[in-house]
Copies of this chain bind each other. A is one copy, B any other.
């Protein structure tokens, strides 16, 4: 899948990411992936739920994957952080 179909959820307001997902669907994408790490995981779930309940009622969550990513910091030791990928189709 091209990276275009991926929305990375970070620290901005939830509705920014909702808009990004809705725009993807409206521009013809059939499948999009919502990705997030660490504390943004809760927000990623909010984004998926708001999209399918309020904006794209035919959208469905088809798969959810969780994982652990190893981030290297400038100070030295690697830090493990959880990540999530939420696959949605319409």
Residues of A within 8 A of B (CB): 38-42, 45-46, 48-49, 53, 61, 64-68, 80, 82, 84, 86
Contacts and interface: CB of A to CB of B under 8 A. Distances in A.
Contact of A42 (B39, B49, B68): B39
**What's the number of copies of this chain in the assembled complex?**
2
A65 B64 CA distance: 8
A-B residue pairs, 7 tightest by C-beta? A64-B64, A41-B42, A45-B82, A49-B68, A42-B42, A49-B82, A46-B82
B45 A66 contact: yes
Contact of A61 (B41, B48, B49, B66): B66
A13 to B, nearest CB: 15
Nearest to A48: B66
